[in-house]
């Protein structure tokens, strides 16, 4: 068990109900077991480019990590960092990452207020929405219908 992390600058829900977070001060992907509660190191990520966003992947075990110029699959169970796939567009300060509500990819936002879709297999980047006019600091998409949101549509 570890002392509480100094700072998580990217977090994602793990498939088993725990939380995975990037702790840049320790250079680790750190796991927070909510049932215990307990904080444990999951994986040394000092070999990876700095991670700016983290999201659940296509399987319960994997995570997708967004760097400044690439995206990679991380599997904490096998301690695999995966190969960084270069992005087809250099984004202006991506800040966050979430599973896409409309595709198998992920969505990120940038410091100019644009939303971008990313295919984690090819690195293909596509603009979803442009022109919010301000920086985006957080982003989340539902994994299932949410009644109170559906009522607003």
Q: Is residue 4 part of a domain?
A: no
Q: Say if residue 42's pLDDT is above 90.
A: no
User: Cβ-count burial of 134 within 10 angstroms (0-12 exposed, 13-18 middle, 19+ buried)?
Assistant: exposed
Mean pLDDT over each residue of the chain, to the nearest integer: 76
Range of the domain at 81: 10-152
Q: For residue range 66-106, what is the model confidence (pLDDT) as tens digits?
A: 887 889 888 888 888 888 999 998 887 766 788 877 777 88
Q: Name residue, tokens 């480019």.
A: 49
Q: Name residue, tokens 């307990």.
A: 38
Q: Is residue 18 part of a domain?
A: yes
CATH number of the domain that residue 49 is part of: 2.130.10.10
Dist CA 51 CA 108 (whole Å): 13
pLDDT for the residue 119: 92
Label the pairing between strands 38-44 and 85-86.
unpaired
Q: Is residue 2 part of a domain?
A: no
Q: Is residue 147 part of a domain?
A: yes
Domains identified in the chain, total number: 1
Q: For residue 43, what is the DSSP state?
A: E
pLDDT for the residue 150: 44
Q: Is residue 5 part of a domain?
A: no
Q: Is residue 3 part of a domain?
A: no
Q: Does the predicted TM-score (pTM) go above 0.85?
A: no
């Amino acid at each position: 068990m570890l002392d509480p992390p100094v700072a998580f600058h990217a977090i994602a829900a793990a498939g088993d109900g725990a939380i995975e977070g990037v702790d840049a001060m320790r250079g680790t992907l750190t796991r927070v077991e909510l049932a215990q509660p307990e904080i444990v190191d999951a994986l040394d990520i000092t070999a990876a480019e700095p991670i700016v966003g983290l999201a659940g992947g296509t399987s319960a075990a994997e995570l997708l990590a967004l760097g400044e110029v690439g995206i990679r699959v991380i599997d904490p169970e096998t301690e695999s960092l995966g190969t960084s796939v270069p992005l087809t567009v250099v984004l202006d300060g991506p800040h966050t990452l979430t599973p896409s509500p409309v595709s198998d990819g992920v969505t990120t936002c940038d410091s100019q207020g644009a939303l971008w879709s990313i295919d984690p297999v090819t690195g293909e980047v596509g603009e979803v929405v442009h022109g919010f006019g301000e920086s985006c600091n957080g982003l989340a998409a539902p994994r299932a219908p949410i009644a109170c949101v559906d009522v607003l549509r």
